[in-house]
Chains A and B, each alone.
Chain A
């Protein structure tokens, strides 16, 4: 009984870690521009697909991973330059719709270039499962969870210890004031897109040996990441991580104990319930309305 529960939790935490990485991407860009970047899921897809392609062309794994992180980051900057920047005066809603368009373009290009088939590559350190109290844990799951922890700590150091990180935080709080004290808010936005894209790609690379990848995996992963970001409180880093893991675990428990047919519906119901009682999400910024 306990072993079964533990198995569901392992499964949920692994998938949840990817949702958390996607949610962190949403959070970074939201903080810098108040835009929900619906192309976030495509960065996850790009990470996985590019690693497959580079490995197939004979590059060693570390080089393939490095390139698969860099290229989506560049793609993130290009998307910002070509679509968000020219539409600067437009409202947030228009910008959000533009990101949906950008995601369609990226997905379409990959579909034509890579094809519609699924692909995968071997896990980083073999696929011999580790037995924990009767449940099996894939070594790759440890890679996913460990890498997520490293990324979260690195982000925290970046935001609290470096001038660039503090500049991004300042822009998030008040863009006009940030500009007045000499922060280049335009560059902040570019850096946010590059970071969000690289973090998303990292999620895609880590998850591909477990779940495979194809040109259209970004749709569902992106949506679940968005749910995770909203549940955790849009704009909150720790919230994104907790939201992601929570969505993953609840999904796995639903599939295990209720019915696998309702697995995808539960996260979306979760959004309603949490937003009804806690409109700012679990860890959203607390603000007081001035009456």
Chain B
């Protein structure tokens, strides 16, 4: 085995694959993701995406002539494990940058150690708390639930809908969404005339919808949930003959959502990243080639549909690679500054322009408003 490695190394040197003056020291990218456990549906595509692009970049000759090396640990959706692994990444694995933290909990548990050590850190979690207030070494690529709420309310106001009912899930995603929606509603002049909840495993939402229908002046319904619950809401609303415009959050943007709604999703609107409608984007859209390229690479390699979550990992890695190239070294302070100077970087999730006061770099235009028509997504604007 060792002999084989020597031969390969020798061959590599002969073909001039490594930098002059011996084998190039790899750039170590640390990652801690929730590949198993309840958040696995987020962490699994994230890890696959990182592995896919580290391979692709190395085949093209690496970054600054040095290969990328992915050092990965799985926190099993447990924030305290992430906290243990991050110390190992910093002290033993001597990483140059850190990508990860699938959940907001995992990310925040890693922050103190990373800030102390001074390592550029790009999180893949959704919570607003990650970048508000801004922390020196911490960045993130996913949209926040605050943005989803604001984007939905913006579209409602355009249609003259200001008195709405909020129906949120009691899961972490739904609870955070409820809090952000309540805050955004006050800011944007939307009145919540009803504020109901349902459990993530509930099978019938007709009581909540009947209560909402009973409110005399309600103009629209906003559902904040994940998984099958929002699809059941669609079916129940159709059965009750609820004629309100229905909006959902970004968490259910998938083909499966339309299929599970069994015809009851017609006319439903939701905000989603451009990635999901890559093929339908107008040709002049700068995000189109990026989103299509990622979709093609991912589906060819893993034989499964792309998700927004893998897209966040794609964007994090491409922002880091571009920052290292602009910094011209892996000096941690220089790379951090280069990430902060990211400007008009087109990713799968949107166009990133970071600044000392904005460590996410996305605005509301990152969310496209979609509507279900004839069982398929249609771009509204």
Interface residues of A (CB under 8 A from B): 4, 7-8, 10-11, 14-15, 116-120, 122, 127, 129, 136, 138, 207, 209-212, 214, 216-217, 219-220, 252-253, 255-256, 259-261, 263-264
Report the count of interface residues on B (CB-CB < 8 A): 30
**Complex Cα spacing A164 to B240, Å:** 45
- Report whether A264 and B262 are in contact in the complex, using a CB–CB cutoff of 8 Å: no
A-B residue pairs, 6 tightest by C-beta? A211-B203, A255-B207, A256-B207, A118-B228, A11-B206, A7-B210
- Report whether B204 and A7 are in contact in the complex, using a CB–CB cutoff of 8 Å: no
- Report whether A8 and B207 are in contact in the complex, using a CB–CB cutoff of 8 Å: yes
Looking at the complex, which one of B227, B228, B241 makes contact with A136 (CB distance below 8 Å)?
Answer: B241
Pairs across A and B, CB under 8 Å, 11 listed: A7-B207, A8-B207, A10-B206, A127-B235, A129-B241, A136-B239, A211-B204, A211-B232, A212-B231, A217-B201, A260-B202
Looking at the complex, which one of A117, A210, A261 makes contact with B203 (CB distance below 8 Å)?
Answer: A210
- Report whether B228 and A256 are in contact in the complex, using a CB–CB cutoff of 8 Å: no
Looking at the complex, which one of A116, A118, A210, A263 makes contact with B202 (CB distance below 8 Å)?
Answer: A263
Chain B residues whose CB sits within 8 angstroms of the CB of A212 once the complex forms: 203, 228, 231-232, 260
- Report whether B204 and A261 are in contact in the complex, using a CB–CB cutoff of 8 Å: no
Chain A nearest Cβ from B223, distance in angstroms? 13
- Report whether A207 and B203 are in contact in the complex, using a CB–CB cutoff of 8 Å: yes
Most chain B Cβ neighbours within 10 Å, of A15, A212, A216, A217: A212
| B187-223 interface code vs A (CB 8 A; 1 in, 0 out) | 0000000001111011110111011001000000000
Q: Does B238 count as interface, using CB distance less than 8 angstroms?
A: yes
Chain A residues whose CB sits within 8 angstroms of the CB of B202 once the complex forms: 260, 263
Contact A127 B238, CB 8 Å, known A11-B206, A210-B204: yes
Looking at the complex, which one of B41, B204, B227, B241 makes contact with A118 (CB distance below 8 Å)?
Answer: B227
Chain B residues whose CB sits within 8 angstroms of the CB of A255 once the complex forms: 207-208
Chain B residues whose CB sits within 8 angstroms of the CB of A117 once the complex forms: 256
Chain A nearest Cβ from B64, distance in angstroms? 41
Chain A nearest Cβ from B195, distance in angstroms? 10
Q: Does B170 count as interface, using CB distance less than 8 angstroms?
A: yes
Chain A residues whose CB sits within 8 angstroms of the CB of B231 once the complex forms: 118, 212
**Complex Cα spacing A256 to B196, Å:** 10
- Report whether A127 and B240 are in contact in the complex, using a CB–CB cutoff of 8 Å: no
**Complex Cα spacing A116 to B227, Å:** 11
Chain B residues whose CB sits within 8 angstroms of the CB of A264 once the complex forms: 199
**Complex Cα spacing A259 to B197, Å:** 8
- Report whether B210 and A14 are in contact in the complex, using a CB–CB cutoff of 8 Å: no
- Report whether A214 and B239 are in contact in the complex, using a CB–CB cutoff of 8 Å: no
- Report whether B240 and A8 are in contact in the complex, using a CB–CB cutoff of 8 Å: no
- Report whether A120 and B262 are in contact in the complex, using a CB–CB cutoff of 8 Å: yes
Chain A residues whose CB sits within 8 angstroms of the CB of B263 once the complex forms: 127
Looking at the complex, which one of A8, A217, A220 makes contact with B210 (CB distance below 8 Å)?
Answer: A8
- Report whether A261 and B241 are in contact in the complex, using a CB–CB cutoff of 8 Å: no
Chain A nearest Cβ from B197, distance in angstroms? 5
- Report whether B262 and A4 are in contact in the complex, using a CB–CB cutoff of 8 Å: no
- Report whether B170 and A15 are in contact in the complex, using a CB–CB cutoff of 8 Å: no
Chain B residues whose CB sits within 8 angstroms of the CB of A219 once the complex forms: 201
Chain A residues whose CB sits within 8 angstroms of the CB of B196 once the complex forms: 260
Most chain A Cβ neighbours within 10 Å, of B206, B208, B227, B231: B206
